[in-house]
Amino acid sequence: MTIREIVKSPNDILTKKTKKIVKFDQNLAKLLDDMYETMLENDGIGIAAPQVGESLRVAIVDLGEGEEPIELVNPEVLQTEGSVIEIEGCLSFPELFGEVERPFYVRVKAQERNGDWYELEAEDYEARAILHEIDHLDGILFDSKILRVVDPSELEEEVDE
């Protein structure tokens, strides 16, 4: 496994719609493994292929908490419900945090690294992370959704409370 460099904004690869995966092989497995290691190394909870320089429809979300990482290959959003505004950050915007409105619930269909399809339902923080990464795959960056920029000192205050 290789830790890759995170692509930072502004960079064209981050604003382009990604290509669908059609070949489920060792190259895809290596990309997923590299992305996971890169995400962990950078203290992320999610990462999309464009963030490591690959314009492919692949993302990973890992909230920790003893759960297996969620590998999203060719994900499609089937349903969303509700709405909540929370603070987000992004590995491609290391110093930017902001309040973003996203659905509270999401149901997605995606493929495993071997090509098998599965469906997943998620709520709250997990739904937010999944939708953030799927946005990356569609060339949509979280800075375009920020309702209010949050100063890093505000994040420290929330942790202290």
The residues assigned a catalytic role are 133
Q: Which residues of 63-93 are buried (b: 16+ CB within 10 A; e: fewer)?
A: eeeeeebbbbbbbebeeeeeeeeeebbbbbb
Please count the other Cβ atoms lying within 10 Å of the Cβ belonging to residue 156: 9
Tokens 């995400």 locate to 39
**Cα–Cα separations (whole angstroms), residue 23 to 26, 29, 74, 125, 155:** 9, 11, 11, 31, 41
**Cα 5 vs. chain centroid, distance in angstroms?**
16
Asked whether the CA dihedral 17, 131, 48, 32 is positive or negative, the reply is: negative
What value, to the nearest 5°, has the Cα angle with vertex 55 and ends 54 and 57? 105
Q: How far apart are CA 48 and CA 74, in angstroms?
A: 11
